[in-house]
């Protein structure tokens, strides 16, 4: 993508403003706003990271859609910002909050629902054992490395699986010659922090490695 086109898209995104008071009730907005002011982090970053994490903690809840089809509460989100924009801070905040909740629930650290699988094979194995997982990535580039990280010819297959995770049916299968993963009602929520250039390349499907 040409630099001028990338800059145009960045400026267009920056100009868009979202008034959270229009979509949140008074108490929810007050909580989000208080966290943002206390931590000196963008309220938009806090909101997106929090809403993705809340979807994870609904533990399989769904929205009733058309024709009695239930849509799982699953979100994939990107915190987009340049260097020094504190986009990693909200990820750290929710990570510490999730760890605190799991500690209160008596969940051992080695059975945490916070996942950092470095490739699709590892992720599928984890989803087989534990269907509700949350991925928190400081760097979008690291997350994108999951696709085809073991073999380049599997990249398209891995991306297809990720689409299935976003809108899963009852069972998701990953079948290779040497391994067969069967994931029952997987619920994977993801939040990643990325620079504008990398984010635009990701969304446009023109990732340069």
Residues 75-92: tens digit of each pLDDT: 999 898 878 788 899 999
| pLDDT at 209 (0 to 100) | 47
Cα-Cα-Cα-Cα dihedral sign, residues 149, 154, 155, 157: negative
Residue 93 domain flag: yes
Q: Is the pLDDT of residue 203 over 70?
A: no
- Number of structural domains found in the chain: 1
Tokens of 42: 């963008």
Q: What is the pTM of this model?
A: 0.84
Q: How confident is the model at residue 155 (pLDDT cuts 50, 70, 90)?
A: confident
Q: Which domain holds residue 79?
A: 3-204
> What is Dmax (Cα atoms) for the chain?
53
179 inside domain: yes
Bigger pLDDT: 161 or 1? 161
Q: What are phi and psi of 136, to 5 degrees?
A: -125, 110
Asked if residue 209 is part of any domain, the answer here is no
Closest among 97, 205, 198 to 142, alpha carbons compared: 198
CA torsion 143-145-150-154 (nearest 10°) is: 90
pLDDT digits (tens, 9 = 90+) for 31-55: 999 999 999 999 999 999 999 999 9
Res 204: pLDDT: 64
The reply to whether 127 falls in a domain is yes
What's the chain's average pLDDT?
A: 84
CATH code of the domain covering residue 35: 3.40.50
Higher pLDDT, residue 57 or 72: 57
- What is d(CA 99, CA 103) in angstroms, rounded to the nearest whole number? 6
């Amino acid at each position: 993508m040409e630099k001028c086109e990338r800059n145009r898209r960045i400026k267009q995104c920056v100009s868009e403003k979202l008034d959270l008071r229009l979509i949140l009730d008074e108490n929810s907005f007050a909580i989000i706003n208080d966290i943002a002011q206390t931590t000196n982090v963008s309220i938009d970053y806090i909101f997106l990271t929090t809403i993705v994490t809340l979807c994870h903690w609904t533990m399989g809840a769904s929205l009733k859609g058309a024709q009695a089809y239930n849509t799982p509460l699953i979100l994939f989100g990107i915190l987009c910002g340049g260097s020094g924009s504190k986009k990693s801070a909200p990820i750290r905040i929710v990570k510490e909050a999730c760890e605190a909740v799991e500690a209160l629930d008596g969940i051992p650290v080695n059975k945490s629902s916070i996942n950092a699988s470095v490739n699709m094979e590892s992720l599928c194995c984890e989803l087989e054992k534990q269907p509700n997982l949350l991925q928190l990535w400081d760097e979008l580039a690291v997350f994108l490395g999951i696709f085809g990280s073991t073999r380049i010819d599997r990249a398209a297959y891995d991306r297809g699986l990720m689409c299935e995770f976003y809108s899963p049916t009852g069972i998701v299968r990953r079948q290779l010659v040497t391994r067969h993963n069967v994931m029952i009602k997987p619920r994977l929520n993801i939040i990643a922090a990325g620079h504008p250039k990398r984010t635009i390349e990701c969304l446009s499907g023109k990732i340069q490695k």
